[in-house]
Chains A and B, each alone.
Chain A
Amino acid sequence: MSSKITTSSTAEYFAKNLQQVGFSSPLKAVLTTLKEAVDNSLDACEDEGIAPEITVQIKKVGKGSSKSADLIVVTVEDNGPGLDETLLPKVFGEYLASSKFGRGQCSRGQQGIGISAATTWAQLTNAQGVKVISKTKKMRKAIEAIIDVNIKGNKGVIKNRKSVDWDKPHGLKAEFRIDGRVQLNGDGGILTYLEGTTLVNPHLTLNYKLLDHDWVNIGRVSEFVPQVPKPTLPHPHTMKLGEFMTHAHLFGKLTLKKFLTTGFSRISDATIKDFTKKGLKRAYLSQPLVKFNETDFKEVFRVIQDTDLANPTTRSVLVVGEESLSKSIQRLGDIDFFSVMTRKPKICDFKPVVVEVAIARFLNKSQDAESQGVQLLRFANRVPLQFDKASCAITKAVESVTWRSYGLAQSKNSLPQGPYVIAVSVTSPFIKFKNASKETIDASEELVEEIRRALMQAGQKLGRHIRRENKAADLERKIAYIAKFGPILVDGLARIAKAPKTRRNKAEEGLNKILGKDSKEAENELKQAEDRLTAQKAKQKEKFGDLSIDKDPAVQESKPAVKATTKKAVSKKTTSKVVKKASKKVVKKVAKKTAKKKATKKKVVKKKIAKKKTTKKVKKTILRKKK
């Protein structure tokens, strides 16, 4: 690892320009610090094939040094490989020309900021760097120390070094005391970040305590630790001239031909011939790179861009997968249904990408969630994007879909409404961001279209659930209508027509026959919708097994009453039975007041809801550690 870490001389520059790298406000400072630390923990675990367990704590301990800020302590602890003593000051105290930049991997280091920026922020606002405890497999005792940044010397300084006992085979804990402000919910919220991270990392076990809230524990739903695919060499069509020249500098003395064939993917000897056909000077090919000036580079670059090349390989792309997403999304809250979609890797703008979508509807969102926009979670290489959503490719794609055809409310060209979460994850070794803050994925036409397709496929699956629901509600409403309005209509007609009672009764019989037919029809429609949904579920089951989390053994033990059937089966059976019963009765004797029947019907429905709720509650309490 250390061979890949290169020190840069930009410490001073960064210290002066922290606002450009995520520390522009007290709110962002906390989020960026947390993000950097958690991303590093996840990356380090994945590198070593360790299933990550991360514990996060954010405390407000006093007033900050500046006016609008509090003094916040951010602690992130992982079970990763840990770091040797020699590396601690390097990683936490030196600015690195990020070890991952341009490697062509789907790794998280998208912020390109590095953890040292967080150390600098701590030092600038609270006169002390980061407190770390680290233990590698080889160490018997852990090292505890403070790492400061020596900004002038661009060196990390280790202070107060101690050997301590740590009941962990290996891992790292970092504690930052910084000026900041804590916002939990909403687009830039800490909780939003943690939930997003949970969603796209099914293999993560996360414990967190935010401010005065209780500890929350979210267990992993997958034992599989994803391997970030081996980096591929860059594809020349994905580069800008400047990047091309920087890349060339690394190859210094080599000839252009050697540089092109070994430093890039999809360039072979045959391709070199194509270049010469397109006008590349032969003399260039054998010339060492050091002799090239800017004009030469420009010329070479132009020819390469003009030549057709094979598309980059899609093997370098990593996916979360539909099965894991399905399980993972259920960790976000009480969901009554969801739909996921993982597209095949695709080349967009010459770059391989995979788009994944998960949509879920939540049960316990507030009442007015119906009329509010859905919660949109955006991810680039599994890192949640939390700012500047308006011009992001993901937002544009979501807005371009006609959600109404899947049963969601939506006003034109905006996000749909309702208690839904729509999560869209874009993974690619070369994600193009719109600006330096890397919070907005560039909305190229091809990428937006690819995301849109994924959304539409997930939307169709969702639509089946919603349609069944609507049909059930429709039928119930129609049946209620007949019972309510039928007798009034007949009575009124008879009075105005001055008809005798016998005619009135005969007419009522006729009315019930007609309307009974109608409700039969509605019933059939409901049945069809149900069948379609069942078929979809069966298909899903065949693919992944049963994904319902109600089968959690802990739940079954503590609540034997609901163990026999899953939540979904219960609710479905109950609705159709209730409805059928109701419709029959109505047809037979509408005239008789249906108050009693209605009451029982309501009871059944209520019971159903209550059942759902207790199941969930039990689960939650199990998950939640006691203080």
Chain B
Amino acid sequence: MALLKVRKSKINIPKEAQLMCDKMLKDLERSKRPVLTAVKCSLDNSLYNSRVGYLTPGDKRVKTELNVSSVQKLARTVFMLEVLLNNIDTGAVNTKRELYYMAKGLVKSEKELKPLDFEEQTESDAVIDYICDVLEVYREELNCFANDRGGQTYSKELIVTETLSDGTKATVELGSLGTSPFQPKNKPQALQLKAKKKIDFCLVVESEGTANTLVANGFTKRNKCIVMGAQGVPSNAVRGWCKTIQDQLKVPIYFFGDLDAYTLQNIYRTLKAGSAASLIRNSDFSAPQVRFLGVLPEDVKKYDLLCYDVTTKDASDARSLKKAKDALENDPFFKDKKNKKLASILHWLIKNKVRCEQQSLFSVNPKDPLTTEKIILEKIKRGSYV
């Protein structure tokens, strides 16, 4: 049973895997140490080109050569690869947690395999990620799907069509869902989007709660738009979903979240340009056209927003200041000329030693429940975004 593809990829995974193993076996037959090579997924191997729009891998590679210290890792890799190839063969899909249990089950049934046993899911997750990096494939292409959170979406205009694995189609009109959100799960790239009326913009809100509040207060009724909750650091589903909205609907997307280093780097940058940990998949899991609507330093001033002091005494505050400095120094995204304005926000954060939460907009005029909506619309109209 063929599954919908996440991307148009020419990689034939079973074939690649077989070649890889054959090569390792050949090395061993000649008493040579087999080596596995993987893309180095870290910030120091990330490149950013504003015309490409997302972080891409540099040419650093991590080589794992067989020796007494790596033999466990390699044995686990080959073992898990076999499990995944079997899934591809039968068309079964699993979450990482399920794969963890499947591995445990196999180990239990065959006592020869006992040494491979994973004590915690983090161990099996690491092996799965490693296989992706070696084969340069997406986890989804190995039929492994995370239980992704976030991405709750509200709109009166949007219609989503999903082609199911048996070929039938399901259509969801978001407008008919009331205040319940639509949530894309595993493969948002496989969804077909259509707008009933022209959609003016898409608003991604860091806090899912605030997204829901806006909708409950009539935001989507009054505006031809899409509102989405990111729920913190965007999951693969949220990232892929944003990219799908960007590519299929071609509407401006604005991100609205806290004003601090964490939101800027971990949430916004990941949404817009992907992350260092997912270098090989950023092309399909980032939406480079997303703009940063706020909270901006200028909003703090204009609306006299309530801020928190960030002191070096508090450990988490100190970490966040350090994070801002690190981002400016080491993150190619913030170092790029095109993102000068975003970098200047980080500078501002370091200089003023404050942070401002998205919910602080509710302090501006507490008697009027629509204030936040008004400010957001006004900012979009004024072009007050980065």
Q: Which residues of A contact B (CB under 8 A)?
A: 478, 481-482, 484-490, 492-499, 503-504, 506-511, 513-515, 518-519, 522
Inter-chain contact A499/B25, CB cutoff 8 Å: yes
A residues within 8 A CB of B78?
A: 488-489, 492-493, 496
Residues facing A in B39-83 (CB within 8 A) are 66-69, 71-72, 74-75, 78-79, 81-82
B residues within 8 A CB of A485?
A: 71-72, 74-75, 115-116
Q: How many residues of B contact A (CB 8 A)?
A: 30
Q: Is B137 an interface residue (CB 8 A)?
A: no
Shortest distance between the CB of A605 and any CB in chain B (Å): 20
For this complex, 7 residue pairs linking A to B, each with C-beta atoms less than 8 Å apart, are A485-B72, A488-B116, A489-B75, A504-B25, A507-B28, A514-B28, A519-B68
Inter-chain contact A503/B25, CB cutoff 8 Å: yes
A-B pair count, CB < 8 Å, reads 93
How distant is the Cα of A515 from the Cα of B68 in the complex, in angstroms? Answer: 6
How distant is the Cα of A353 from the Cα of B81 in the complex, in angstroms? Answer: 66
How distant is the Cα of A119 from the Cα of B217 in the complex, in angstroms? Answer: 82
Query: Interface residues of B: mostly helix, strand, loop or mixed?
Result: helix
A496, A509, A518: the one within 8 Å of B82 (CB) = A496
A residues within 8 A CB of B113?
A: 488
Question: Can you list, as one digit per residue, whether each of B11-26 has a CB less than 8 Å from chain A (1) or not (0)?
Answer: 0000001100110110
Inter-chain contact B67/A514, CB cutoff 8 Å: yes
Q: Which residues of B contact A (CB under 8 A)?
A: 17-18, 21-22, 24-25, 27-33, 66-69, 71-72, 74-75, 78-79, 81-82, 85, 112-113, 115-116
* Given A506-B29, A522-B68, 5 additional A-B pairs, CB 8 A: A484-B72, A485-B71, A510-B27, A510-B28, A514-B28
Query: Interface residues of A: mostly helix, strand, loop or mixed?
Result: helix
Inter-chain contact A493/B28, CB cutoff 8 Å: yes
How distant is the Cα of A489 from the Cα of B74 in the complex, in angstroms? Answer: 7
Name the residue on B nearest A475 (C-beta).
Answer: B68
With contact pairs A481-B71, A486-B71 given, residues A496 and B81 touching in the complex (Cβ less than 8 Å): yes
With contact pairs A492-B82, A510-B28 given, residues A518 and B68 touching in the complex (Cβ less than 8 Å): yes
B residues within 8 A CB of A492?
A: 21, 75, 78-79, 81-82
Name the residue on A nearest B76 (C-beta).
Answer: A485
B residues within 8 A CB of A499?
A: 22, 25
Inter-chain contact B30/A510, CB cutoff 8 Å: yes
How distant is the Cα of A504 from the Cα of B21 in the complex, in angstroms? Answer: 12
B29, B69, B71: the one within 8 Å of A507 (CB) = B29
Inter-chain contact B25/A487, CB cutoff 8 Å: no
B residues within 8 A CB of A514?
A: 28, 31-33, 66-67
A residues within 8 A CB of B71?
A: 481-482, 485-486, 489, 515
Q: Which of A484, A489, A499 has the most CB atoms of chain B within a 10 A radius of its CB?
A: A489
Inter-chain contact B33/A494, CB cutoff 8 Å: no
With contact pairs A495-B82, A511-B28 given, residues A481 and B72 touching in the complex (Cβ less than 8 Å): yes
A residues within 8 A CB of B28?
A: 490, 493, 506-508, 510-511, 514
How distant is the Cα of A12 from the Cα of B66 in the complex, in angstroms? Answer: 81
B29, B32, B68, B75: the one within 8 Å of A503 (CB) = B29
A residues within 8 A CB of B81?
A: 492, 496
B residues within 8 A CB of A490?
A: 25, 28
With contact pairs A503-B29, A510-B28 given, residues A493 and B69 touching in the complex (Cβ less than 8 Å): no
Shortest distance between the CB of A620 and any CB in chain B (Å): 39
Q: Which of B32, B78, B116 has the most CB atoms of chain A within a 10 A radius of its CB?
A: B78
Inter-chain contact A496/B21, CB cutoff 8 Å: yes
A residues within 8 A CB of B33?
A: 514
A residues within 8 A CB of B74?
A: 485, 489
Q: Which of A487, A493, A497 has the most CB atoms of chain B within a 10 A radius of its CB?
A: A493
B18, B29, B66, B75: the one within 8 Å of A488 (CB) = B75
How distant is the Cα of A589 from the Cα of B12 in the complex, in angstroms? Answer: 37
B residues within 8 A CB of A482?
A: 68, 71
Inter-chain contact A513/B68, CB cutoff 8 Å: no
Shortest distance between the CB of B66 and any CB in chain A (Å): 7
Shortest distance between the CB of A500 and any CB in chain B (Å): 11
How distant is the Cα of A513 from the Cα of B28 in the complex, in angstroms? Answer: 9
Inter-chain contact B115/A488, CB cutoff 8 Å: yes
How distant is the Cα of A620 from the Cα of B78 in the complex, in angstroms? Answer: 54
B residues within 8 A CB of A504?
A: 25
Name the residue on B nearest A484 (C-beta).
Answer: B115
